[in-house]
Structure 1
Amino acid sequence: MVVVGVDPHKHSHTAVAVDSNGHELGQITVGNTAAELVRLLAWVQRWPGPRRWAIEDCRHVAGALLRALIRAGEAVVTVPPKLMAQARASARTRGKSDPIDALAVARAALREPDLPEAHLDEQALQIRLLLDHREDLVAERTRMINRLHWHLHDLEIALPRGQALNRIATLNRLGEQIGQLAGGVRAEIAAELIERLITLTQRIGQLKRRIEAQVEPLAPHLLAVPGCAGLTAAKILAETAGVGRFRSAAAFAMHTGTAPIPVWTGNRARFRLNRGGNRQLNAALHRIAVTQLRIHPPAQALVQRRIATGDSKTEALRVLRRHLADVIYHRLQASAASSTPCHEDAA
């Protein structure tokens, strides 16, 4: 088995091939054009037999390379940067360079044979792009709201309690109120910010409705989970990118960062927070867990039982998240099975 580790960048990709023992066989640096990727595939043909590509998970930077390799029929896994950094730190070679990083990626993939294999999922990719775009707009809106708050403070305009600046009705009322002021640069800037906030809020709402409309037919079983609304379901679908990549619910839990990590000696078993895994998925499960603590009696009963046995509320919440990882895994499997046409339908 030959493993090819790749350190991707915007303009170039460095690949290092290693054998099953982690010994380096060769290295190459190519550009990110289609012709250069063909050269990369030709270079790796010198080692016949089964091989696997390991690419550092850099999202947009590695996307084109990842899709090109999968379309060429290659087996590809993505390696979280944390695993790569650990492999580099444990190596005898000091320093940091693209070949060193690519070698660390390959050795990390050898050490972790259960990393889920990547595959093309255009629907998940579209949802993730829309989610990323919406989150960028929300972050931009937050920065503008913070600036507007200071201008309103200097203009001595107080917001009524309970009214937020991410609501169009509140922004319209503020715009009318500022329009009645006796001019001035500060009032002019505040009015401009309000206009831009209204436009951003409308666009964010449009994206939310579009994402929810795409998710509904893809994951009806997921949306039935208490506390899992449209945007959270979209985040889970986008970051999972195909539940078939995971061999079991335990592998999915490891990917989400909800698998428990033991930190105990002696008689009392304890587990700490898992800081690994996909933090976007972990955050989505946390949102579901916190919501279920408010509205879902079975989740409330589980947490109370754990607290009664001596767990803290934080530890009990981790148990709930681990349970939710199993629930989400099986719901994703059910949604995937229901959306796959049978032979009669295909005919």
Structure 2
Amino acid sequence: MILIGIDPHKSSHTAVAVDPGGHQVAQRRFVVNAGTVGQLMRWCQQWPERRFAIEGARGLGRTLAQQLAAAGENVVDVPSTLSARARLLGTGGAARTDAADATHVAQVVLFRHDRRPVEPEDQTTILRLLTERHDDLVHDRTRVLNRLHAVPRDLLPGGAPTGLSADKAAALMKGIRPVTATDACRRDIARDPLADLRRLNRQVKDKEAEMRDALAATCTTLTTLPGLGTVLAAKVMGHVGDISHFPTEHHFASYTGSAPLDASSGNNVRHRLNTGGNRALNSVLHTIAVCQIRDGGRGQDYYLRKIAEGKTPAEARRALKRRLSNVVYRLMKRDQRNHLSGAARHTEALSSHSRSGLSPCGRPWTDQRKAFGCVHGGGV
């Protein structure tokens, strides 16, 4: 098995072939253009048994990794942190070259067999793209709202009230009677962010509708958890992807940053706050915990029980986040099992009907094809 490590850049990709002993066999630099993948595949044909290791398959190497995975190649993702550690352990000084970096990427996969394979993008990728765009629009809307608070400050006594919206801002500006030309200019300037706010409100609603449709296509039950709405459920599925990558709920909690880190030493057993992990998922768990504590129910009961045990509010909230991480993991595992069992039943039904000469509707295949005009070259 030849490992082909690739160090991707914006304008070029450097590939290095490494044998099972970790020694370099060949190297080549490819200019990034429409024919890069074809050139790479022709170069790799000399090694029928091959495996690709790409640094940052979710970053600069995303396009190349997805093209190789779609072609049926064995591709794994190597985070830049692991390749940096391999570079520190390597010999040859601190000089960095693209070929050396690609070699270290391949060596990581050679000695680390737990690297996650790159899979073709699916519905979860769409959800992640929609949630990232939704977050950008919400941030832009917050910036425009702050601007709307700043501009009327010099036109209205006390400025605009809190909880400002587009309709409230429009009503306030209608009541402004400028005295000087400068005040008239301030009022006219305030109309631009108001138009931007209305536009951003429409875009946010459109993105939420798209997320709702994309989430419905996954048949997930995450939204049944109190405090977990459409936007948060789409963010969870977009960042997690395939839940089978996490063997246990403890691995999932470590990935979300909700599990404390063991900092024991000798007889001193203690834990510290985990500030790593996926911070987007950690933020989702925090929002769910805050909503459940506020709205009541089993989450609030668990929180109050921890408070009664002597925990501080922050510690009790972190304990609830850890429990919610387990619940989210179990829901996603259950959805995956239901999806797999449903697909298996559908395949078995098609197979049994094919053996009996009947369509899934219970009619002969010939009659079924006639009903849709598919016999003798006909079609719909």
- Do the structures match in fold with TM over 0.5? yes
Name 2:362's counterpart in structure 1.
none
Counterpart secondary structure, 2:29: strand
Amino acid at match of 1:68: Q
Amino acid at match of 1:188: D
How far residue 343 of structure 1 moved from its aligned partner, in angstroms, is 4.6
Counterpart secondary structure, 2:135: helix
How far residue 126 of structure 1 moved from its aligned partner, in angstroms, is 1.9
Name 2:346's counterpart in structure 1.
345
How far residue 70 of structure 1 moved from its aligned partner, in angstroms, is 1.0
2-structure distance, mates of 1:67, 1:149: 45
2-structure distance, mates of 1:221, 1:156: 48
The reply on whether 1:73 has 2:72 as its aligned counterpart is yes
Q: Which runs of 5+ in 2 are unaligned?
A: 351-380
Counterpart secondary structure, 1:14: strand
How far residue 232 of structure 1 moved from its aligned partner, in angstroms, is 0.8
2-structure distance, mates of 1:101, 1:174: 59
- The structure with the largest alpha-carbon Rg is 2
Name 2:266's counterpart in structure 1.
266
Q: Per the alignment, do residues 199 and 35 of structure 1 end up closer, same or farther by CA in structure 2, a change over 3 Å counting?
A: same
Name 1:137's counterpart in structure 2.
137
Name 2:373's counterpart in structure 1.
none
Counterpart secondary structure, 2:63: helix
Residues 317-336 of structure 1: matches in 2 within 5 Å?
Answer: 317-336=317-336
Q: Per the alignment, do residues 54 and 253 of structure 1 end up closer, same or farther by CA in structure 2, a change over 3 Å counting?
A: farther
How far residue 26 of structure 1 moved from its aligned partner, in angstroms, is 3.7
Amino acid at match of 1:326: N
CA contact (8 A) 1:53 1:74 kept: no
Residues 172-251 of structure 1: matches in 2 within 5 Å?
Answer: 172-178=170-176, 180-181=177-178, 184-251=184-251
Task: Give the TM-score of the pair, scaled to structure 2.
Answer: 0.76
Q: Which runs of 5+ in 1 are unaligned?
A: none
1:266-286, Cα deviation, whole Å (9 max, x unpaired): 334222333443332232233
1-structure distance, mates of 2:88, 2:145: 42
Task: Give the TM-score of the pair, scaled to structure 1.
Answer: 0.82
2-structure distance, mates of 1:269, 1:58: 37
Higher relative contact order (CA 8 A, sep 6+): 1
Q: How many residues align?
A: 343
How far residue 322 of structure 1 moved from its aligned partner, in angstroms, is 3.6
Q: Per the alignment, do residues 105 and 292 of structure 1 end up closer, same or farther by CA in structure 2, a change over 3 Å counting?
A: farther
2-structure distance, mates of 1:66, 1:331: 30
Deviates more, 1:71-80 or 1:91-100: 91-100
CA contact (8 A) 1:235 1:281 kept: yes
RMSD over aligned Cα, in angstroms? 3.2
Name 1:146's counterpart in structure 2.
146
Q: Percent identity?
A: 33
How far residue 200 of structure 1 moved from its aligned partner, in angstroms, is 1.0
Counterpart secondary structure, 2:39: helix
How far residue 255 of structure 1 moved from its aligned partner, in angstroms, is 3.5
